Structure 1
Amino acid sequence: MVDAVRGSGAVGSNGAGEIFQILRDGHARTKAELATLTGLARSTVSGRVDTLLAAGLLRSAGEAVSTGGRPPARVAFNPSAGVVLAVDLGATHATIAVADLAASILTSNTHPLDIADGPEAVLDAVISEGAALLEQEGIAASHVVGVGIGVPGPVEHSTGRPTNPPIMPGWDRFDVPHYVQRTFDVPVLVDNDVNILALGEQALSWPGVADLIFVKVSTGIGAGIISGGTLQRGAQGSAGDMGHVQVPYSHDSPRPPGDQRDLEAVASGTAIAADLRAQGIDAAGSADVVALVRAGHQAAITATRQAGREVGEVLATVVNMLNPSVIVIGGSVARAGEHLLAGVREVVYRRSIPLATQHLGIVQSQADETAGVLGAAIMVTQQVLSPAAVELRAARA
């Protein structure tokens, strides 16, 4: 799968790395076609294409139709030139996958795992599982070009260190990249799980959409923001932390006017379950809430729809500020069906300006359990196949 959030700006550039960006769409081209696209001399293009072939990033792709004389050779992106280990860590599970350089998932496995076991135990299990998947596919560890990891907490993306993650005891400021690089000496990128889910959701369901917000409503609440085709992390990596935004008061809400709790405290799966327990209903967490809603329990349905309205109160401001084309609602609570979405839509369409909602879609996530690892793979390929990284690899070749 081609990186869905990569910019297209390759035409008119000079280096091998920029020429390579043109070919990442998977279409085979001749050197003459590349010369026309870039405006470079054929001899210059030929030399740089030969360098990319030597680096393994391009492959021969047969011959084009001849217009007289010898048919010209075509070249194409070689996604088999390396693989990425992609990891999606949740509070109680881990999905590990091997992807090629086009971010296509070659194999994956999901299994129970407690994030509270701490970084060493969790990462050791992840590394072991990744090595087993590589062996299963007959891929040498030396073929790995990068590792991408999503974690359920705030991350300083520039360092890959989780920062005060509430459900990850022992992980605060832990140097995840350094620990993983003891086994895989390649770039290791770490991000919040909602960000990689946004990348994966866009690639799977909305590849043509440049402005998308993915909202995860689960034990916590967070958002991944893709604006202008680029994932927005902010200055320190905390962009999209909706869960800690104080919910604006609405006269429609059953909450009292003085309630100053943040969104996570009133609308997460944990909060909904607490509300139901206060009514004498047995609900320990998100899974119980979903089960009750699916069983048609009226109090659970009412609480879930109200949680959607509270999410909508915060999202209405986000819509006015960022003007997305699509808002995707995911996470465990969203699996309860349309009730959460109905609450979100009710408020967002009423409180946002008409121009911002004129063509806005608010939809439920359709992605499966591989969306997170797909996003992690895309995150890595964005870096290891960037023009500068390709130039470096080509120079080494």
Structure 2
Amino acid sequence: MTGAGIGSARGRRPTSAPATAGEIFALIRQGAVATRTEIGRATGLSRTAVAARVDRLLKEGLVTEVQGGAATGGRPAARLAFHTAGGTVLAASVGVSRTSLAVCDLAGTVLAQDSVRMRVRSGPEAVLEAVGDRLARLVQETGSDPAQVRGIGLSIPGTVDSVAGCSIGVPVLPGWAEVKLPPLLTDRFPVPVRVDNDVNVMAIAEQHAHPGIDDLLVVKVSTGIGAAVVSGGTLQRGARGSAGEIGHTQIADGPGTPCHCGNVDCLEILASGSALIRDLTARGRTVDTVSGVVDLVRSGDAEAVRLVRTAGRRIGEVLASAVNLLNPAVITVGGDLVGAYEPLVAGIRESVFKRSVATATQTLRVEPGALAGRSGVTGCAILVLDQVLSPSAVDDVLAQHDLTPPD
């Protein structure tokens, strides 16, 4: 963490404005400091200034203090730690037909999880009203204090204007384009709301679950298909937020199937969960959900297994270009269709390793997402936590509560 007045935890003296309470909180949250003495060394603040700032963090519930090991002179040193139970954040990962919800602590750990089954075609107002109602019940069920909700992380399919908090004209979200989503939740929860693409938040969660991996490609195969790119340790959103939109890449040898985007033979119209439902229904199977497709595969239905493997090959064909371009260390596969993992990933591997250069695949791992159905809500939680627990946000909260110490 960098900030005005902050030196290293080894004792570098400050060179500008004194460290704020928010900056001290960041050091504690990172584990860079654990005592008042260490804070003084890292920031150059006096003992009185350190005590004033720490006291305000303790009162806000962001930090706890316990007696620790011996300090200089043999007296027990009070140790400071990030208080992960000092509030909650709410997470809502909106899908085409189902929205996953969670209440999380300040470390992003899921405390309670549920879902709302409602198609996004119902419109943002109806969907987010239902989401708000269920989140309020989840908060109550966990015994959490509604007044201690600190933020909401929200994800939606397709391209997102994360600054405005709205969808940018995604075909699968009719009626959502340019609708600012935070106000639809802040009437019930007057807290910051941060919005991003659904696969981006999955990538945020997967990045946290893969420490030391700086180059990661995350693929979601569900009702639709999307991807997200972590390169050099940073999530890549692109110039207009559409990085990773592989679902509308056209397949060269497709049968000429029209896509809802206006093109033909897009990957999503040929290889997504929706496409598999269509194709299996045409072959006499009774299936109307992606989980139904998964059930057919698990029951050994040969046609379902064949179609899922073919879908995997088509997805791998598109991913091969991304592998050559980005050279990821890991590809993680998530989404509802991951329940049919073996034929799906067998097809992906077949195309990726056939079509990519050998140097890019020599150590490449293709594996299921690490969070087993929680990557969406966990990523939403991390997304908003990075905002509401930033030094400036913490200082703003303390100022609102009239707790900010004088410099």
TM-score (norm 1): 0.86
- Residue 183 of structure 2 aligns with which residue? 178
> In the TM superposition, what are the counterparts of 1:208-287 in structure 2 within 5 Å?
208-247=212-251, 249=252, 261-276=265-280, 284=288, 286-287=290-291
Give the secondary structure class of the aligned counterpart of 1:29: coil
Q: Give me the identity figure in percent.
A: 43
Please give the alpha-carbon distance, in whole angstroms, between the structure 1 residues aligned to 2:140 and 2:295: 39
Kept after mapping to 2: 8 A contact 1:155/1:161: yes
- Residue 65 of structure 1 aligns with which residue? 70
Would the alpha carbon gap of residues 281 and 129 (structure 1) be closer, same or farther in structure 2, given more than 3 Å must change?
closer
- Residue 4 of structure 1 aligns with which residue? none
Displacement after TM superposition at 1:94 (Å): 2.5
Displacement after TM superposition at 1:265 (Å): 2.2
- Residue 131 of structure 2 aligns with which residue? 126
Please give the alpha-carbon distance, in whole angstroms, between the structure 2 residues aligned to 1:239 and 1:54: 42
For structure 1, the residue ranges without an aligned partner over 5 or more in a row are 1-6
Tell me the amino acid that sits aligned with residue 117 of structure 2: P
Deviations 1:158-187 (A, max 9, x none): 111122233333222222111211222211
Please give the alpha-carbon distance, in whole angstroms, between the structure 2 residues aligned to 1:383 and 1:392: 12
Give the secondary structure class of the aligned counterpart of 1:183: coil
Tell me the amino acid that sits aligned with residue 120 of structure 1: E
Deviations 1:287-313 (A, max 9, x none): 443233223233332222222121112
Aligned-pair Cα RMSD in Å: 2.8
Would the alpha carbon gap of residues 300 and 136 (structure 1) be closer, same or farther in structure 2, given more than 3 Å must change?
closer
Give the secondary structure class of the aligned counterpart of 2:353: helix
Please give the alpha-carbon distance, in whole angstroms, between the structure 2 residues aligned to 1:273 and 1:109: 25
Displacement after TM superposition at 1:25 (Å): 3.8
1:92 and 2:100 aligned = no
Would the alpha carbon gap of residues 115 and 254 (structure 1) be closer, same or farther in structure 2, given more than 3 Å must change?
closer
Give the secondary structure class of the aligned counterpart of 2:111: strand
For structure 2, the residue ranges without an aligned partner over 5 or more in a row are 9-13, 257-262
Displacement after TM superposition at 1:106 (Å): 1.8
Would the alpha carbon gap of residues 331 and 8 (structure 1) be closer, same or farther in structure 2, given more than 3 Å must change?
farther
> In the TM superposition, what are the counterparts of 1:275-314 in structure 2 within 5 Å?
275-276=279-280, 284=288, 286-314=290-318
Highest relative contact order (Cα 8 Å, sep 6+), 1 or 2?
1
Displacement after TM superposition at 1:90 (Å): 1.9
1:164 counterpart (139, 145, 169): 169
Give the secondary structure class of the aligned counterpart of 2:85: helix
Deviations 1:253-282 (A, max 9, x none): 6869xx962211222122234444555655
Would the alpha carbon gap of residues 254 and 384 (structure 1) be closer, same or farther in structure 2, given more than 3 Å must change?
closer
Please give the alpha-carbon distance, in whole angstroms, between the structure 1 residues aligned to 2:325 and 2:165: 28
Please give the alpha-carbon distance, in whole angstroms, between the structure 1 residues aligned to 2:137 and 2:271: 39
Would the alpha carbon gap of residues 188 and 39 (structure 1) be closer, same or farther in structure 2, given more than 3 Å must change?
closer
Tell me the amino acid that sits aligned with residue 139 of structure 2: L
- Residue 143 of structure 1 aligns with which residue? 148
Give the secondary structure class of the aligned counterpart of 1:223: strand
Total equivalences in the alignment: 383
Give the secondary structure class of the aligned counterpart of 1:79: coil
Displacement after TM superposition at 1:28 (Å): 6.8
1:335 counterpart (322, 333, 339): 339
Displacement after TM superposition at 1:79 (Å): 1.8
Kept after mapping to 2: 8 A contact 1:8/1:22: no
Deviations 1:99-152 (A, max 9, x none): 121111222222422322222221111111121222223333221111111223
1:354 counterpart (349, 358, 374): 358
Kept after mapping to 1: 8 A contact 2:313/2:348: yes
Give the secondary structure class of the aligned counterpart of 1:337: helix
Please give the alpha-carbon distance, in whole angstroms, between the structure 1 residues aligned to 2:294 and 2:56: 55
Task: Indicate the larger mover: 342-351 or 281-290.
Answer: 281-290
Displacement after TM superposition at 1:242 (Å): 0.8
Please give the alpha-carbon distance, in whole angstroms, between the structure 1 residues aligned to 2:389 and 2:197: 21
Kept after mapping to 2: 8 A contact 1:79/1:102: yes
Please give the alpha-carbon distance, in whole angstroms, between the structure 2 residues aligned to 1:81 and 1:327: 35
Tell me the amino acid that sits aligned with residue 204 of structure 2: L
Kept after mapping to 2: 8 A contact 1:28/1:77: no
- Residue 111 of structure 2 aligns with which residue? 106
1:385 counterpart (372, 384, 389): 389
Displacement after TM superposition at 1:361 (Å): 0.7
Tell me the amino acid that sits aligned with residue 219 of structure 2: V
